[in-house]
Amino acid sequence: MGGVGSGRQPAWLTGSPSKETTEDYFALDIREAKRYGLIAPGFEELPGIARIEWITSGFGAPQGSDCYLRPWFRCPRKECGKRVAILYGWIPDTGAPSWACRTCRDLCYPVEMGNRVERAGIKMRKRRARLGPGPEKPKRMRHDTFVRLGHQYLQAVKEYNEAGRESIAHHLKQMEQERIKFDL
């Protein structure tokens, strides 16, 4: 897999796809967005991503001034709305990216992970069906077509296994975090 974002990642998206998963998470830092001129004082929204709030801050103020206005994102998840500097974009196979803060990202992750396993399973079964009942080539199918479809099916099996493994690894990691948290 070449990575969904490899060809599409705008310069202002920092970081690389998360190592935890082959799905791509991108970190969007509002300070970077400001540096790249995507937002300017007074902007109330980064369209399609999140609302912006300007808060007085003493830190990083230009010399000679006491304070300045610092932009923050409001996490776009309805039930959250937290003020954060960084949003994480999850880029699905199809459709628009969804954005959320770190907390929401961690909460949503297992669902998205589960969806990914499910999607990989559907893809795998579809490709298997194209091969016919097996083990022989369906009579009317050309040999090279059969070989090509066979390889596509094997690729889907591989992706399905990878998704499953990553899902399990994530849950083990979560369990370990709980264990540390409660000193069990």
Q: Which residue ranges make up the site for Zn ion (CB under 5 A)?
A: 75, 77, 80, 82, 101, 104
**Alpha-helical segments (H) within the chain:** 30-35, 102-130, 143-181
CB of 54 to Zn ion, least distance (A): 19
Identity of the residue, 90 or 153, whose beta carbon is nearer to Zn ion in the bound complex: 90
CB of 87 to Zn ion, least distance (A): 8
Beta bridge partners of 46: 50
CB of 116 to Zn ion, least distance (A): 21
Identity of the residue, 104 or 156, whose beta carbon is nearer to Zn ion in the bound complex: 104
CB of 126 to Zn ion, least distance (A): 35
Q: Is the dihedral of CA 6, 8, 11, 16 positive or negative?
A: negative
CB of 104 to Zn ion, least distance (A): 3
Identity of the residue, 101 or 120, whose beta carbon is nearer to Zn ion in the bound complex: 101
Q: How far apart are CA 42 and CA 24, in angstroms?
A: 31
Considering only CA atoms, which of 25, 155, 159 is closest in space to residue 90?
25
Instruction: Look at the chain and count its residues.
Output: 184
Q: How far apart are CA 17 and CA 21, in angstroms?
A: 8
Identity of the residue, 75 or 124, whose beta carbon is nearer to Zn ion in the bound complex: 75
Phi-psi sector, 97: left (phi>0), alpha (psi -120 to 50), beta:
beta
Identity of the residue, 18 or 155, whose beta carbon is nearer to Zn ion in the bound complex: 18
